[in-house]
Amino acid sequence: MAVAESSSAAGFPRDFLWLLLVLWCWVPTADFLIVEMEGKNQTVFLYDNVTISCKVPGSTPLNIMIMGVTWYRKHQAYEQKVFEMYGDPNPKEVSRPGASVSLEALEKGDASLHLPGVQLRDAGEYRCKVVITPYEAQATVFLKVLAFPKCTLFREQATAKDDGNKYILCEASGFYPKDINITWYIWNHENPQGQEISEGITNGPAIKNEDGTFNITSRLRLNHSLEHNVTTYQCVISHISLPTSRRSNFTLSGRGSEMGIAWGTIAPLIILGVIVLVAVTGLIVCIRKLLLRRFKPLPQEETEEL
């Protein structure tokens, strides 16, 4: 009977015993498996590369051949599998192009997900699931994607319009999310410390671009009574993506700026007047030559015979 038991033990799959020994050695020194993430929220800028942290604390190195890592992204009510690798260095599934988990880092207990060239559609709740048989653990983090505005002050737009007013345009483009705030300030000899402008401002609607970002334009009507003074106007843009507000200045240097604006307005009329003058002068010269040829005086000899 003893011989039979010994024979049965010898026939027990040696590989299975080895697997059990490996599992006992490689599982973190705790009664359960846990994963850790750096906070509940993470922010990244549009088109940047990002690493979403997910780490397994405890004993290392880990045997990646007996463990699995799966990443999910949840947007609204829909959850999609982004990356999956289980017992094989080659991932089983990568639905997000470029998504990867470093094998070298994974052996050290780091199952972080790398995403290159982040798009707005990459935003959402990410769930990291790690399996080291027979244990399983998971944690979530919310990824927020921002796009900071590019600010442009259209100085060439400070020209006379059909209504006789003059304007400055301030544009914020390529920003996300949609909420943004644009304010105007003025500096001159009457307001040396600067003062916020509350009148003559028209903000257009936020226009959505193909990539999901937004553009918006703010128009400021200039004060005619200040045109002869040195006046500085400032456009201030505030957005969640900006650590501090962005400021753009435009200075009107009294009559100099007014003359420059006036010249830009009447220059085409002056050129047209010169063209008309040249044309009229040429026409007069042609008519004079025709008249001289028609009424050319007779030679002196012919006049005497008559």
pLDDT tens figures, 132-142: 888 899 999 99
Percent of the chain with pLDDT over 70: 72
Among the residue ranges 1-5, 116-120, 157-161, 290-294, the one predicted with the least confidence is 1-5
Report how far apart the first and last C-alpha atoms of the chain are (Å, whole number): 168
Higher confidence at residue 157 or residue 38?
38
| pLDDT of 49 higher than 90 | yes
- Based on its alpha-carbon atoms, the radius of gyration of the chain, rounded to whole angstroms, reads 39
pLDDT at 204: 94
Return the higher-pLDDT residue of 260 and 278. 278
Q: Which residues contact 146 (CB under 8 A, 6 or more apart)?
A: 43, 44, 45, 46, 176, 177, 240, 241
Instruction: Answer left, alpha or beta for residue 68, where phi above 0 means left and psi between -120 and 50 means alpha.
Output: beta
Q: Which helix (H) or strand (E) holds 8?
A: helix 2-11
pLDDT higher for 86 or 13? Answer: 86
Average pLDDT over the chain reads 79
Total Cβ atoms within 10 A of residue 149 = 23
Output the CATH code of domain 150-253.
2.60.40.10
Convert the pLDDT of each residue in 222-247 to its tens digit.
876 666 678 889 999 999 999 999 99
Comparing CA positions, the residue from 207, 195, 203 lying closest to residue 221 is 203
Confidence of residue 14 (pLDDT cuts 50, 70, 90): low
Q: Which of 46, 7, 1 shows the shortest CA–CA distance to 214?
A: 46
Integer Cα distance of 232 and 296 in angstroms: 69
Q: Which residue has the higher pLDDT, 189 or 103?
A: 103
Token readout for 304 is 């005497």
pLDDT one-digit tens code per residue, 171-211: 999 999 999 999 999 988 877 888 999 999 999 999 999 99
pLDDT top residue among 59 and 120: 120
Contact 213/46 with Cβ under 8 angstroms? yes
Mean pLDDT on 36-48:
94
The structure's pTM equals: 0.66
SS (H, E, C) 121-161: HHCEEEEEEEEECCEEEEEEEEEEEEECCEEEEEHHHCCEC
The reported pLDDT for the residue numbered 18 is 46
Q: Are 23 and 33 in contact (CB under 8 A)?
A: no
Q: Is 2-144 assigned to CATH 1.10.3720.10?
A: no
Residue in this structure with the two tokens 């699995």, named with its chain if needed:
68
